Amino acid sequence: MIISDLKIYRVNFKINKSRRIYYRTFNKIQNLFVLIKTNENLIGIGESTPIKSITGDSKNTAFRLLSQAKTTLKGCDPCDLNSIHEMMGNTSRKSGVISNTAINAIDSACYDLLGKSKRKPVYQVIGECRWKNVLNTVTIYIGSLENTVNETRNIMSKYRKYGIKRIKLKLSGQPKIDKKRVMAVTKLFPGDLTLDANEAYRDERIAVKIFNNIYDLVGDRILFIEQPSPRKNLEKLRYITERSKIPIFADESTANLQDLYKIIESHSVNGVNIKLQRAGGIYWGKKMFVLAKKNKLDVMVGSIQESGVGVSQDVNFLASISDYVIGSDIDTDLDLENDIVTSSSRIPFKNGGRFPLKDHGLGVKIKNSVKTLMGSTSKIDVN
Ligand SMILES: [Mg+2]
């Protein structure tokens, strides 16, 4: 099978409510999509979510690298992932255009094609692991105490039917307010929590004090805290990890395989959050996973403002390593006002976890209304 064509689309999504984390707020989402067509009439799909402050690349950079891939990948075998990634690496080096989210989209489309050609879901062609359910968090973003209480109630009523067992709470870096919000959520919600500071705690001593204070009040119900301190300062991260009673995970500090080597060398965390958009897809995510496991780091799998397409890629990756992973945070598709995938091919949320689809490849199907638009324009608003 060879690649005969590659198409790129910019798609705008609306979200129900704004999503505020420590260093930015999301009010809407624009992602890039690639469709890779083959000489055997199969189509693979991938999503790229470039957000400079998170993924390091911009939408224009990702678009430029995808445009170059249109020429360089034509005639290649999409199922030969080693060659595809080597080709993307070379294209990136030669042109100086660096974009892991673009590489992720290509990776997704190629794995989709690999699954379709082998007539298996992607997670079954990635690895040998026996799939088990991994509990998934739904996120409460930064807001007032009142807003946090309301959000907890909303999430509990909206996701009760999906068996929700974990909530993730975004922290603001203001210790007193954060503590009150954590206490309010734990009082209402009977399950476990994970916390995510997105680098908000600039003073490592304050971070340790507040985290241990929270642990003394709530105990093991707080499973771990993601990225308490600035991403580049691994000394601060290690200081906190060595003293915190709650396990500490790297997220922004461990964007890709190179970062993970530094994290391991610095002994600065208990675990890592692997996100395919930053890693450069399943191919690189797997390498990160193997390295993390070898070094006895706990692993979670996260997502970055993805719709149903990226989420299917994430969940297939998660399922392929699920015997080791301790949690996932794949929820960005859940409150999209509209998705480009059909409602029957949205990734299920049940028994508190996200489940891969049984269909071949990624299993996602594009809505007819979006397909029609894709035939006539490369810029699409999903309403
Ligand atoms: Mg995080």
Token code pair at residue 375 = 């035939």
C-alpha of residue 382 to centroid of ligand 1, in Å: 27
SS3 90: helix
My answer on whether 46 and 193 are in the same domain is no
My answer on whether 268 and 185 are in the same domain is yes
C-alpha of residue 54 to centroid of ligand 1, in Å: 10
Per cent of the chain over pLDDT 90 is 92
- Beta strand 349-350 with 353-354 is antiparallel
Q: Give pLDDT, residue 382.
A: 82
My answer on whether 39 and 144 are in the same domain is no
C-alpha of residue 294 to centroid of ligand 1, in Å: 22
C-alpha of residue 332 to centroid of ligand 1, in Å: 13
C-alpha of residue 74 to centroid of ligand 1, in Å: 36
My answer on whether 130 and 110 are in the same domain is no
C-alpha of residue 53 to centroid of ligand 1, in Å: 13
Give pLDDT tens digits for 171-218.
999 999 999 999 999 999 999 999 999 999 999 999 999 999 999 999
My answer on whether 65 and 92 are in the same domain is yes
Give the CA radius of gyration of the chain. 20
C-alpha of residue 137 to centroid of ligand 1, in Å: 12
Q: Please report which confidence band the pLDDT of residue 354 belongs to, taking 50, 70 and 90 as the band edges.
A: very high
Evaluate whether residue 268 is within a structural domain: yes
Give pLDDT tens digits for 23-59.
999 888 999 999 999 999 999 999 999 999 999 999 9
Residue 326: CB atoms within 10 A of its CB come to 16
- Beta strand 222-226 with 192-196 is parallel
Report the b/e string of 289-319 with b at 16+ CB within 10 A.
Answer: bebbeeeebbbbbbbbbbbbbbbbbbbbbbb
My answer on whether 202 and 133 are in the same domain is yes
Evaluate whether residue 304 is within a structural domain: yes
My answer on whether 140 and 112 are in the same domain is no
User: Higher model confidence: residue 204 or residue 376?
Assistant: 204
Per cent of the chain over pLDDT 70 is 99
Q: Please report which confidence band the pLDDT of residue 63 belongs to, taking 50, 70 and 90 as the band edges.
A: very high
C-alpha of residue 367 to centroid of ligand 1, in Å: 31
My answer on whether 195 and 306 are in the same domain is yes
Give pLDDT tens digits for 84-94.
999 999 999 99
C-alpha of residue 252 to centroid of ligand 1, in Å: 7
C-alpha of residue 369 to centroid of ligand 1, in Å: 34
C-alpha of residue 378 to centroid of ligand 1, in Å: 31
Evaluate whether residue 376 is within a structural domain: yes
Residue 223: CB atoms within 10 A of its CB come to 21
Q: Give pLDDT, residue 16.
A: 83
DSSP labels, 286-317: HHHHHHHHHTT-EEEEE--S--HHHHHHHHHH
My answer on whether 224 and 345 are in the same domain is yes
C-alpha of residue 370 to centroid of ligand 1, in Å: 31
My answer on whether 50 and 145 are in the same domain is no
Q: Please report which confidence band the pLDDT of residue 337 belongs to, taking 50, 70 and 90 as the band edges.
A: confident
Domain harbouring 219, CATH code: 3.20.20.120
C-alpha of residue 227 to centroid of ligand 1, in Å: 6
Does pLDDT of 239 surpass 70? Answer: yes
C-alpha of residue 55 to centroid of ligand 1, in Å: 12
C-alpha of residue 280 to centroid of ligand 1, in Å: 17
Q: Give pLDDT, residue 377.
A: 87
Q: Give pLDDT, residue 383.
A: 65
Evaluate whether residue 215 is within a structural domain: yes
Domain harbouring 33, CATH code: 3.30.390.10
Tell the burial category of 135 from Cβ atoms under 10 Å away from its Cβ (0-12, 13-18, 19+). Answer: buried
Mean pLDDT of 281-302: 98
C-alpha of residue 9 to centroid of ligand 1, in Å: 27
Does pLDDT of 104 surpass 70? Answer: yes
SS3 328: strand
Q: Give pLDDT, residue 314.
A: 98
My answer on whether 116 and 131 are in the same domain is no
My answer on whether 82 and 154 are in the same domain is no
Which structural domain, as residue segments, surrounds residue 198? 124-354
Q: What total of structural domains would you count in the chain? A: 2
Evaluate whether residue 360 is within a structural domain: no
Q: Give pLDDT, residue 131.
A: 81
Q: Give pLDDT, residue 238.
A: 98
Q: Mean pLDDT score of the chain, rounded to an integer? A: 96
In angstroms, rounded to a whole number, what is the distance separating the alpha carbons of residues 168 and 139?
Answer: 5
Q: Which residues contact 369 (CB under 8 A, 6 or more apart)?
A: none
C-alpha of residue 353 to centroid of ligand 1, in Å: 18
C-alpha of residue 25 to centroid of ligand 1, in Å: 14
Evaluate whether residue 271 is within a structural domain: yes
Evaluate whether residue 178 is within a structural domain: yes
Evaluate whether residue 278 is within a structural domain: yes
Mean pLDDT of 132-141: 96
